[in-house]
Structure 1
Amino acid sequence: MKHLLRIDPGWFMLALALTGFLLLPGYLLLFSNLFVLGIFALSYDLLQGHAGIVSLGHAAFFGVGAFIAATLARHGVSEPLLGLIGATLVSGLVALVVTPVVVRGNDFTRLLVTLGIGFLIYEAANKARDLTGGADGLSDFTVGPVAGLFPFDFLGRTAFVYTLAVLVAIYAMMRRLAASPFGLALKGIRENVRRMSAIGAPVRRHLALAYTISGAIAGCAGALLVQTGSYASIDMLGFDRSADVMIMTTLGGTGSIPGVVLGAAGFGFLKDYLSSVSPKYWQLGLGLLLMASVFIGRGGLAGAFESLQRKLGGE
């Protein structure tokens, strides 16, 4: 048992996902949505968990990626991979443009600035009805087969494999980034920004790069949701989605890459299940469960897993 717990939890999650593909064919679309949430949560955790930046407007980049993918599909770029790359690049570019404002100031200033950026982009999307459809969103586009070979089907098999493959790629990238000198520098900035500045570390440049990468990954997640669901809505830019990603990250364990993915999947599943049980009062049930998770399991799912490791290690 001790040796099993030392294995990267990512392998267990991948095995669990593939088991779900085989045993639960009626839930493949739900699984693909959970994979998208996992990617979105990883993008936010790069900010809060590794760089120490708390953002209240992270959904702005998720929504930008979503509408870029939808717009490209509307104008004939129906290849999902091309749309995904385009959405990722544009979202990263938008994040890069706003970094000079975000990386300045203290944590409270960044909260207000990121919240303001989120509201501005949301309102801009709402006014640009010709591009975004306004409150009605966009649905008049067609997404072609992945790589020209695998069309999206009603059962969600292509969507499952497509989103899972992207999640695995980003998960692996995040693992390498966290262990790199850049990732270690971000952790140092999170723990003591003054000390990192004193030793000559380019703090603002590191934070700007982290914010840009985070925005690009969030845009990738938004593009995936649009491509697998064939619909883009300005709600994807809203504050509620920014709050959701904060909850997912906290639930999984801030700073833990596998924990964040599990937290996103657990949050998405609970939200779907409770809304089906009680369409009117599901938010009450979700709130109670989240409060219980904070008081009972400190450190999120990752903290619970580490406690289990310590207990087994002491036997």
Structure 2
Amino acid sequence: MSDVTANAPFDAQGWLRRQSRWSPLEVVFWLALLLPFFFFPTYLTLASQIAIAALFAISVDLILGYAGIVTLGHAMFFGLGAYAAGLISVYGWGEPLSGLLLAAAFAGLVGFVVSFMIVRVQHLALIMITLGLGLLTYELANSMSWLTGGTDGLRGIRTWPIFNYFRFDLWGYTAYSYSLAALFVCFLVSRRIVNSSFGLALRGVRENVRRMPAIGSDYRGHLQKIYTISAAIAGLAGALMAQTTNVVALDALSFQRSADVVVMLILGGTGRLYGAIVGAAIFLIARDQLSGVNPQYWYFWIGLLLMVVVLVMPKGILGGLSALASRWSGR
């Protein structure tokens, strides 16, 4: 009987159906994200920034955690989305939802073009290319100060009320509602992607890219698709930042932003969409608190936290908690 079970084919469709089901813990998690409205109203601006950072982290997790594409320049798409949404507003169209979609489409288009280069290299060359593209975009935006505002940032952004009714207030109620709604919608899309046959193919590419062509998989096509989707989501996150703050600084394209999002994923756990959200929350809350204690050296404590997490829980906080839960249940 055990031999029959061992030789039975893997039921991929059944596994995907089980993965797609919502657990009670997930429902509680999303309901908990509404708590800032009631218990932490003075931190709603920070909460909206966490939601935007989490969305950006999800975009990177799709390519890093699921497809194995290592990147150090994904802020390029975040910044392109931010500048696209900002420029649309500056030149007379401040409707937020259409601006959001146009910015995401623009970033996705650039991501599609870049993907032809990305799928042809691996490992160190891939890191260098993504880093180089990010630095080139940063310097291009800096040199085009007549358009982007350069180091002074893009000013004059005016975002209209959502549905011509919900105005962006100083307390952050509308900003957090808007950012959280965008995060939830993009999370649903990302969750559907990773829990599909396409998501399984991406995992196969991540585990062994050389074996995928042997089973007839167009691995380059898969990588191009997910890279384009990831770029669009990153651009949408950047557009959210521009619309909720009414300013786009040059650091939206900086290497620091690309590095920070990788740190968020390491903290939360790669290959877990919830890890991106948890990692973003931990990183930004820690930055907010530590910079208040020591504005100059707060990165020291972030580095220490990162080292502790990597040494104690190499798969991130959610990975470590999952391992503990499996050990506790005896599986």
TM-score, structure 2 length as denominator? 0.91
Matched, 1:10 2:30: no
Matched, 1:191 2:207: yes
Q: Deviations over 1:216-261 (max 9, x none)?
A: 0000000101111111011110100000111111111110111221
Gaps of 5+ in 2: 1-21
Query: Residue type of the partner of 1:136?
Result: D
Match of 1:200 in 2: 216
Match of 2:267 in 1: 251
Matched, 1:61 2:77: yes
Query: Residue type of the partner of 1:110?
Result: L
Aligned match of 1:19 in 12, 17, 35? Answer: 35
Question: In structure 2, what is the Cα distance between the partners aligned to 1:123 and 1:305?
Answer: 41
Cα drift, residue 12 of structure 1: 2.7
Aligned match of 1:38 in 54, 69, 79? Answer: 54
Query: What is the RMSD computed on CA atoms of the aligned residues?
Result: 1.3
Three-state SS of the structure 1 residue aligned to 2:34 is helix
Matched, 1:262 2:257: no
Match of 2:157 in 1: 141
Cα drift, residue 19 of structure 1: 1.4
Question: In structure 1, what is the Cα distance between the partners aligned to 2:51 and 2:261?
Answer: 13
Match of 2:239 in 1: 223
TM-score, structure 1 length as denominator? 0.96
Question: In structure 1, what is the Cα distance between the partners aligned to 2:24 and 2:310?
Answer: 25
Cα drift, residue 8 of structure 1: 5.7
1:66–1:224 Cα contact (<8 Å) kept: yes
Question: In structure 2, what is the Cα distance between the partners aligned to 1:163 and 1:299?
Answer: 28
Aligned match of 2:194 in 178, 191, 198? Answer: 178
Matched, 1:292 2:292: no
Match of 1:3 in 2: none
Structure 1 residue runs of 4+, over 3 Å off?
none
Question: In structure 1, what is the Cα distance between the partners aligned to 2:280 and 2:25?
Answer: 15
Aligned residues: 310
Q: Deviations over 1:10-31 (max 9, x none)?
A: 3232122111211111000100
Query: Residue type of the partner of 2:46?
Result: L
Q: Deviations over 1:255-313 (max 9, x none)?
A: 01112211111111111111111101111111111111111222112212212321331
Query: Percent identity between the aligned chains?
Result: 45
Cα drift, residue 73 of structure 1: 0.6
Question: In structure 1, what is the Cα distance between the partners aligned to 2:118 and 2:242?
Answer: 27
Q: Deviations over 1:72-113 (max 9, x none)?
A: 110111111011001100000011111111110221111111
1:10–1:258 Cα contact (<8 Å) kept: no
Query: Residue type of the partner of 1:40?
Result: F
Three-state SS of the structure 2 residue aligned to 1:40 is helix
Question: In structure 2, what is the Cα distance between the partners aligned to 1:258 and 1:47?
Answer: 15
Gaps of 5+ in 1: 1-5
1:9–1:258 Cα contact (<8 Å) kept: no
Question: In structure 2, what is the Cα distance between the partners aligned to 1:115 and 1:281?
Answer: 25
